[in-house]
Amino acid sequence: MRRLILLSLLLPWPALAHSELRGSVPAPGARLAAPPEEILLRFNERVQVTALRLRDASGRTIALRRQAGAEPAQEARATPEAPLPPGDFVLEWRAISADGHPIRGAIRFTVTP
């Protein structure tokens, strides 16, 4: 029995891995001298991004144009429909990972005057 348990600990367990955000543009906490021309989310595996929302400091939603379809991908890209004014912003996102688990997050950044 001990050998069976030890063997099971040595085997790879890919089902335990979960999708995660690996990087973004703008980066979390970024202070930008100019508004971003593009917003990018990069994941460790293909996910289906189900929501992407940009809000200003007052909570107002800023319109974004998504640059990809609804199919799963490792990256999600969007552009603001108008240049962002100086201020604080939060990008909220939700996605469904390859294993069906929902994931979400928020990225805060500032455009300086």
- pLDDT of 68-107, one tens digit each? 767 899 999 999 999 999 999 999 999 999 899 999 999 9
Q: What is the pTM of this model?
A: 0.81
Paired residues of 77 in beta bridges: 40
| Lookup: tokens for 101 | 């688990």
Burial of 19 (0-12, 13-18, 19+ CB in 10 A): buried
Architecture of the domain delimited by 18-111: Sandwich (2.60)
**pLDDT surpassing 60 at residue 3:** no
Taking only the tens place, the pLDDT of each residue in 24-77 is: 999 999 999 999 999 999 999 999 999 999 999 999 999 999 987 678 999 999
List the domain boundaries for the chain: 18-111
**Given pLDDT bands bounded at 50, 70 and 90, which one contains residue 7?**
very low
